[in-house]
Amino acid sequence: MSLSLGARAMDVLFGKNKKEQLEPVRAKVTGEVYYRSRYLRSDTYNANMEANRIVVSEFGTMAYPDPSKNIFSKAFTYLSHTIPDFTDNCLINFMKCGGDFYATTETNYIRKINPQTLETLEKVDYRKYLAINLATAHPHYDSAGNVLNIGTSIVDKGKTKYVIFKIPATAPDRTKGKSPLQHTEVLCSIPSRSLLSPSYYHSFGVTENYIIFLEQPFKLDILKMATAYIRGVSWASCLAFHREDKTYIHIVNQRTGKPVSTKFYTDPMVVFHHVNAYEEDGCLLFDVIAYEDSSLYQCLYLANLKEGFEGNSRIVPVPTLKRFAVPLCMDKNAEVGSNLIKLASTTARALKEKDDQVYCQPELLCEGLELPQINYAHNGKPYRYVFAIEVQRTPIPNKILKYDILTKSFLRWREEHCWPSESVFLSSPDAKEEDDGILLTAVVSSDPQKLPFLLILDAKSFAELARAYVDVDMHLDLQGYSSRTQTGTQGSRPLPRKSRTGLQTAPWPRQTGQA
């Protein structure tokens, strides 16, 4: 029985692409809730649809030359992919820049969209404004509405570096009518420890005065990437975890643009999501979801997901919420081996070593949660609550969590055969406490008799306030309130990833406290 249920769940959740819903469909609920979805009409989407096959390479799916072409055409195609032009399938997040909204991914491209109709507008190349080949899809916003982000510049003028940049909330008066992107400013550049193997990163942290960047031993091999197309392998195979290396913690002063001179490091780990960070009594504390290695990627291949639904899953790596603490001012007279953190609020330690190096030993807060969300009004400030999904035997979530950092306690929501997306926290207009508000999540079911719905929870008590059912063919979405899928992806390949679509109840920017 479990086998047939697992197979049915896989077929419902991943078996086929879903239809677009171009016109708003009113949900069955009292109030004004509508559902609309649309594929992002990226250049990648259009090229693939026109050819009726994958012709633009993605992170986990490598395109191949048209078999009908002759040997010379194929050779030219191979050569043109030596320095790849990355995809513009912006499927991870939404970014608000000035009065505009953009769909984002981890390449140098973002796509402007209409937040009301979800229509795809112009493609923007970050390289027009600064020299980066990759950028995170999870920027931060400061109190003035400026966008903070970080990207990688690969072998630019003989150097590979990480570039922290700021996009102003509005363009200066003298350039009224122009995009704030034209006034993008580089705050800081951090040299990569390796010219041809820069660190992969999915997010970063911010406080009121500092930016936290983790240069981790999960690295992108540039030489392998340059030959990936010829070898017929995906770019994902060009990433490797080097467990013999350290994780380096870079702290950058936002005001001066200069890194803190002390060399902070910790054990090798892989971090996708920063949760939050803040300053306390001369120290900087930051919380991340950490893994011991990069094996999570293997769990996201369709064949492995299928095994998980059928009860034969390999062990899923356990995500761990860890708190790190670093001193902002180094005590030059401290003895080697002494703990530089004197805070009563954490057991995290920073141990002084020779040559101004500091080894950071984290505090373990809890295990088994991912895709963290916070009340963004507390981003960069002391906070208490994390909203997330629970990760146990499978990376596909079936529970929503609220974790109380102070009491180390959990609240949970789950329902049989229901699969929730990453939640979105909305604060109450008259909020007095951090968790005064509601939590929104889109839920699909592997039961074909059950309609998908928008779930609305009281963020304080986790009591269900309402659900809005919509009679549509809705995607399973792991991250945010948008969906992803990929035409022609079959067999043992990564989780389907194609064009970004939007599922909205209101056109707000997705402002998260993580990457």
What is the β-pairing status of strands 349-352 and 263-266? unpaired
Question: Residue 164 forms beta bridges with which residues?
Answer: 150, 188
| C-alpha to C-alpha distance for 413 and 428, rounded to whole angstroms | 21
Of 360, 351, 386, nearest to 371 by C-alpha is: 386
Binding site: which residues?
138, 202, 273
Binding residues for Fe cation: 138, 202, 273
Other CB atoms within a 10 A radius of the CB of residue 32 amount to 9
Q: Could you give the 3-state DSSP secondary structure of residue 469? A: strand
CA-to-CA distance for 154 and 160, rounded, in angstroms? 5
- In residues, how long is the chain? 515
Give the Cα separation of 340 and 435 in Å (integer).
33
User: According to the 3-state scheme, what is the secondary structure of 403-445?
Assistant: EECCCCEEEEEECCCEEECCCEEEECCCCCCCCCEEEEEEEEE
Q: Which residues contact 70 (CB under 8 A, 6 or more apart)?
A: none
The residue type at 227: T
Alpha-carbon span 48 to 346, nearest angstrom: 51
CB 211 within 8 A of CB 252: yes
> Which SS3 state, helix, strand or coil, does residue 205 take?
strand
Residue 488 is which amino acid?
Answer: G
With beta carbons less than 8 A apart as the criterion, state whether 508 and 80 touch: no
For the record, the structure tokens of 401 come out as 């969590």
| Host H or E run for residue 308 | helix 302-309
